[in-house]
């Protein structure tokens, strides 16, 4: 480490051990905060002018230098301790002693918390856009396959038929909640710690409200000890990221499973599949497997930070530098997983024939409901239809292939209208209360979903 560039050399006589310096330094990863750091420094410079610490002329000289640093810095100075030291060293190179005044009443503790919140605010906005694109891909896929019916499963056993659009809308809803969560996290991210200084607050008359507004923060932190040591906003972000990954991994699993020969519901396009180096016939869903796998990594980021924060004494501790890599890694992982998921959705097709939902007794509930409408208590109808299914299995037939005479052996309530009542169309259209898979409802849910994306 370049000893002359240290922000804290005065009290020291000996040199920093190079191995420890490498361990301590964060510049290799916190350089991602560069823009935020310079932006916050420019705003802080204005606040120092307002507080009478810098004259207007000194302030504008510092700000011009910071603009220049922002415009043309390259990060090849590997000796910087962290992004804050890096920017300050550049500033001093450009402005000499004047640059040494910028850190008045400020600490890297409130600085890093401010930078990180500025960075995260943008990252959240980016993620919001990318999640929205996956939602768009889901709606496009639903519309391309309007009217296509697939088996719905519980316990991974055939249960009741649903429209493929209904399946798409299920994931759409999960992602809508994810975006809502990101919005909520953003309101707690968007609070400014700057002016808390090291831990006790600043000794200079900085107008924190004005400073906050100039950086687009909606509020200022109320307690300096809390402000420099709070990383709740990171944990909340990682938690929102984790849920996004839970949702993507379930989507991934459905697609992986439905694209097997055993299920045969979906076909993977060449653009998002890979082959085997040994088995010539293989077409593997690596894209979705990686998304499913990366969920674990993001949960790891969440757990790592929770564990780091647990039991830390107030206020700032260097442990907290570990927040950065967890958050950056989660952001990168979630962003790339979302992008790939959207691409997959744009490169799969439904195998309408294989998707057929007319086998597997998925209209058994319909048959029981039929008896209920004829006056039989549901529990009894359930029992009767269970016996009918056993018979159908013996005969190797589906329920709608049984004759009226076959059915009447189980109940005299079966009549001529029974076959219509258990048809696939009827099975679907009867699910007509809000949230159901009746085609009319799904069509209006699709339209509402599309509409909500434009809001
Ligand atoms: N690189 C540090 C971090 O990310 C910046 C704050 C350092 N503060 C200190 N007192 N050493 O947490």
Q: Give the residue-averaged pLDDT of 132-154.
A: 96
Q: Give the residue-averaged pLDDT of 177-191.
A: 98
Q: Give the residue-averaged pLDDT of 274-298.
A: 95
CA distance 380 to 440: 31
Q: How confident is the model at residue 8 (pLDDT cuts 50, 70, 90)?
A: confident
Helix 439-453 and helix 164-189, axial crossing angle in degrees, nearest 10:
30
Nearest alpha carbon to residue 249 among 293, 284, 287, 285: 293
Cα angle: 42, vertex 75, 32; to 5 degrees: 65
How would you class 120 by CB atoms within 10 Å of its CB: exposed for 0-12, middle for 13-18, buried for 19 or more? buried
Q: How confident is the model at residue 323 (pLDDT cuts 50, 70, 90)?
A: very high
DSSP secondary structure code for residue 81 in this structure: S
**Residues pairing with 161 in the sheet:** 151
Q: How confident is the model at residue 352 (pLDDT cuts 50, 70, 90)?
A: confident
Query: Which 3 state secondary structure label does DSSP give 171?
Result: helix
Ligand 1 atom 3 nearest Cα: 321
Cα–ligand 1 centroid distance for 95 (angstroms): 24
Cα–ligand 1 centroid distance for 124 (angstroms): 23
**Residues pairing with 284 in the sheet:** 274
Cα–ligand 1 centroid distance for 318 (angstroms): 6
Pick 214 or 278 by higher pLDDT.
214
- pLDDT tens for 389-442 read 999 999 999 999 999 999 999 999 999 999 999 999 999 999 999 999 999 999
Residue 194 has pLDDT above 70, yes or no: yes
320 lines ligand 1 (CB under 6 A): yes
Two tokens at 395?
């005969």
Which atom of ligand 1 is least distant from the CA of 320?
12
Question: Percent of the chain at pLDDT above 70?
Answer: 99
Ligand 1 atom 11 nearest Cα: 318
108 lines ligand 1 (CB under 6 A): yes
Residues recognised as catalytic: 155, 276
Q: Give the residue-averaged pLDDT of 313-332.
A: 98
30 lines ligand 1 (CB under 6 A): yes
Helix/strand/coil percentages in the chain, nearest 5: 65, 5, 30
302 Cβ contact partners less than 8 Å away, ≥ 6 residues apart: 235, 238, 239, 241, 242, 326, 330
Question: Percent of the chain at pLDDT above 90?
Answer: 92
Q: How confident is the model at residue 355 (pLDDT cuts 50, 70, 90)?
A: low
- pLDDT tens for 359-401 read 899 999 999 999 999 999 999 999 999 999 999 999 999 999 9
Sign of CA dihedral 345, 349, 352, 353: negative
List the helix and strand counts (H, then E) for the chain.
18, 6
Q: How many CB atoms lie within 10 A of CB 32?
A: 19
Tell the residue number behind the tokens 């924060």, with chain if given.
309
Least confident range from 110-119, 237-246, 345-354: namely 345-354
Cα–ligand 1 centroid distance for 450 (angstroms): 45
Cα–ligand 1 centroid distance for 85 (angstroms): 10
231 lines ligand 1 (CB under 6 A): no
DSSP secondary structure code for residue 436 in this structure: S
Query: Which 3 state secondary structure label does DSSP give 151?
Result: strand
Mutate to test the pocket of ligand 1, among 231, 321, 326 (most ligand atoms within 8 A of CB): 321
H or E segment and range at residue 189: helix 164-189
CA distance 174 to 426: 28
Two tokens at 314?
């107030």
Q: Give the residue-averaged pLDDT of 232-240.
A: 98
Query: Which 3 state secondary structure label does DSSP give 157?
Result: strand
Q: Give the residue-averaged pLDDT of 256-266.
A: 95
CA distance 202 to 367: 74
Q: How confident is the model at residue 77 (pLDDT cuts 50, 70, 90)?
A: confident
Are 204 and 215 contacting, i.e. CB atoms less than 8 angstroms apart?
no
Nearest alpha carbon to residue 299 among 258, 370, 227, 245: 245
112 lines ligand 1 (CB under 6 A): yes
316 lines ligand 1 (CB under 6 A): yes
Residue 354 has pLDDT above 80, yes or no: no
Two tokens at 296?
């674990």
220 lines ligand 1 (CB under 6 A): no
Q: Give the residue-averaged pLDDT of 109-122.
A: 98
- pLDDT tens for 198-231 read 999 999 999 999 999 999 999 999 999 999 999 9
Residue 75 has pLDDT above 90, yes or no: no
Cα–ligand 1 centroid distance for 336 (angstroms): 29
CA atoms within 13 A on the CB side of 428: 23
Residue 1 has pLDDT above 70, yes or no: no
Are 114 and 211 contacting, i.e. CB atoms less than 8 angstroms apart?
no
Two tokens at 368?
């029981």
CA distance 260 to 8: 61
114 lines ligand 1 (CB under 6 A): no
Counting every residue written for the chain, the total comes to 455
């Amino acid at each position: 480490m370049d000893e002359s560039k240290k922000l804290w050399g005065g009290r020291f006589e000996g040199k920093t051990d190079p191995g420890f310096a490498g361990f301590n330094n964060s510049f290799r990863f916190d350089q991602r905060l560069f823009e935020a750091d310079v932006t916050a420094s420019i705003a802080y410079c204005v606040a120092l002018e307002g507080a009478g610490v810098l004259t207007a002329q000194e302030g504008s000289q510092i700000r011009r230098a910071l603009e220049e640093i922002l415009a043309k810095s390259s990060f090849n100075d590997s000796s910087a301790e962290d992004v804050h030291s890096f920017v300050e060293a550049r500033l001093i190179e450009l402005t000499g002693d004047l640059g040494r005044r910028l850190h008045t009443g400020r600490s890297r503790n409130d600085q890093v918390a401010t930078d990180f919140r500025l960075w995260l605010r943008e990252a959240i906005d980016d993620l919001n856009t990318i999640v929205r694109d996956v939602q768009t891909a889901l709606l496009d896929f639903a519309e391309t396959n309007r009217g296509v019916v697939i088996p719905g499963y519980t316990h991974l056993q055939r249960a009741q038929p649903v429209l493929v659009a209904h399946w798409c809308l299920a994931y759409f809803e999960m992602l809508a909640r994810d975006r809502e969560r990101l919005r909520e996290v953003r309101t707690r991210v968007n609070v400014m710690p700057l002016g808390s200084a090291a831990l006790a607050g600043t000794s200079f008359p900085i107008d924190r409200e004005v400073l906050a507004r100039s950086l687009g923060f909606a509020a200022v932190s109320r307690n300096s000890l809390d402000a420099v040591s709070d990383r709740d906003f990171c944990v909340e972000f990682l938690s929102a990221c984790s849920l996004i990954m839970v949702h993507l991994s379930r989507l991934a699993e459905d697609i992986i499973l439905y694209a097997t020969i055993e299920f045969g519901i979906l076909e993977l396009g060449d653009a998002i599949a890979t082959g085997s180096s040994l088995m010539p016939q293989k077409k593997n869903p690596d894209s979705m497997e990686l998304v499913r796998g990366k969920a674990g990594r993001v949960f790891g980021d969440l757990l790592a930070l929770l564990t780091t924060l647990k039991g830390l004494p107030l206020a700032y501790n260097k442990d907290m530098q570990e927040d950065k890599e967890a958050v950056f890694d989660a952001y990168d992982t979630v962003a790339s997983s979302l992008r790939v998921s959207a691409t997959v959705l744009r490169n799969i097709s439904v195998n309408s024939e294989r998707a057929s939902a007319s086998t597997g007794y998925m209209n058994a509930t319909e048959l029981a409901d039929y008896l209920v409408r004829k006056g039989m208590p549901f529990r009894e109808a359930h029992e009767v239809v269970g016996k009918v299914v056993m018979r159908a299995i013996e005969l190797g037939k589906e329920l709608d292939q049984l004759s009226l005479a076959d059915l009447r052996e189980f109940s005299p309530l079966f009549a001529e209208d029974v076959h219509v009542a258990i048809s696939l169309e009827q099975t679907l259209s009867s699910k007509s209360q809000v949230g159901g898979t009746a085609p009319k409802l799904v069509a209006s849910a699709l339209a509402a979903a599309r509409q909500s994306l434009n809001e």
